[in-house]
Amino acid sequence: MGVGVAIHDIDKKIFCRGTGIFAEGTSMNLFERVSLRLASFENGMMILGMTIASFLITLQVVLRYVFNYSISWAEELTRYAIVWMSFIGAGMGIRKGAHISVDLLFVFLSERGKRMLSAAMAVVGVWFGGVILYTGSTLVHRTLLTGQISPAMEAPIFLVYLGIPLGGLIFMFRCVELFVKSFRGLFPEVEVERKGGM
């Protein structure tokens, strides 16, 4: 419970510093509660995915070079974990303001201009997330009907592709969140600490 609260506090400070949504002493609405629950899910999936991928890659290296043996399904599961992390991480990047961007125009705009530009980017993001959601859902449905399984683990392949529409849905939610917050002047802002020197 303490870890969850700490993660939520960090996310609040990173995403919307200052007054407004998530400000100290204010009550959260349903949308904000969903946002925090979703943040916990995103963080948990990233931790799980990284743990699985790191453990299996390390295990494969040790088994291959020390015991001349390898687990047939380890590489496959690692690939699938990375796929899930990639799609879920896209929405997480919106939440943390961590996507690569050119902010030259943003810096020179007025407060109103920043809000309009941020809202426009959010609208494009919702459309893009919708495309991912639709195409991913189509792919999941198709593989579910055909009963396709993975070569090594023999797991239903639709479970792997399920990360695509889920990632698209999360991406859409985060872009809607960005749209709402852009009109309140709450822009994603990652804090960078300087230690020593200047």
User: pLDDT of 16-44, one tens digit each?
Assistant: 443 344 444 445 588 788 888 888 899 99
- For residue 178, what pLDDT band results from cuts at 50, 70 and 90? confident
**What local confidence, expressed as pLDDT, does residue 186 receive?**
58
- For residue 102, what pLDDT band results from cuts at 50, 70 and 90? low
Strand partners, 156: 149
Strand partners, 60: none
Instruction: Inform me whether the pLDDT recorded for 56 exceeds 60.
Output: yes
Residue 188 resides in a domain: no
pLDDT in tens, 84-97: 999 999 888 888 87
Domain interval for residue 13: 2-182
DSSP 130-141: HHHHHHHHHHHH
**What local confidence, expressed as pLDDT, does residue 35 receive?**
84
Residue 189 resides in a domain: no
Instruction: Inform me whether the pLDDT recorded for 120 exceeds 90.
Output: no
Count CA within 13 A, CB hemisphere, residue 178. Answer: 28
Instruction: Inform me whether the pLDDT recorded for 101 exceeds 50.
Output: yes
Residue 69 resides in a domain: yes
In angstroms, the CA 168 to CA 87 distance is: 7
Residue 136 resides in a domain: yes
What is the four-CA torsion angle of 6, 11, 17, 18, rounded to 10 degrees?
A: -50
Tally: H helices and E strands in the chain: 7, 0
Instruction: Inform me whether the pLDDT recorded for 133 exceeds 50.
Output: yes
Residue 192 resides in a domain: no
The DSSP secondary-structure symbol of 99 reads S
Residue 131 resides in a domain: yes
Overall number of domains in the chain: 1
Helices 30-66/163-182 angle, 10° precision: 140
Residue 197 resides in a domain: no
Q: Determine which helix (DSSP H) or strand (DSSP E) holds 42, and give its type and residue range.
A: helix 30-66
Tokens read off for 63: 């088994």
Catalogue the long-range contacts made by 46-51 (C-beta closer than 8 Å, 24 or more residues apart).
Answer: 46/85, 46/88, 46/89, 46/92, 48/81, 49/81, 49/82, 49/84, 49/85, 49/88, 50/85
Q: Is 42 in contact with 92 (CB distance < 8 Å)?
A: yes
The DSSP secondary-structure symbol of 29 reads -
Residue 128 resides in a domain: yes
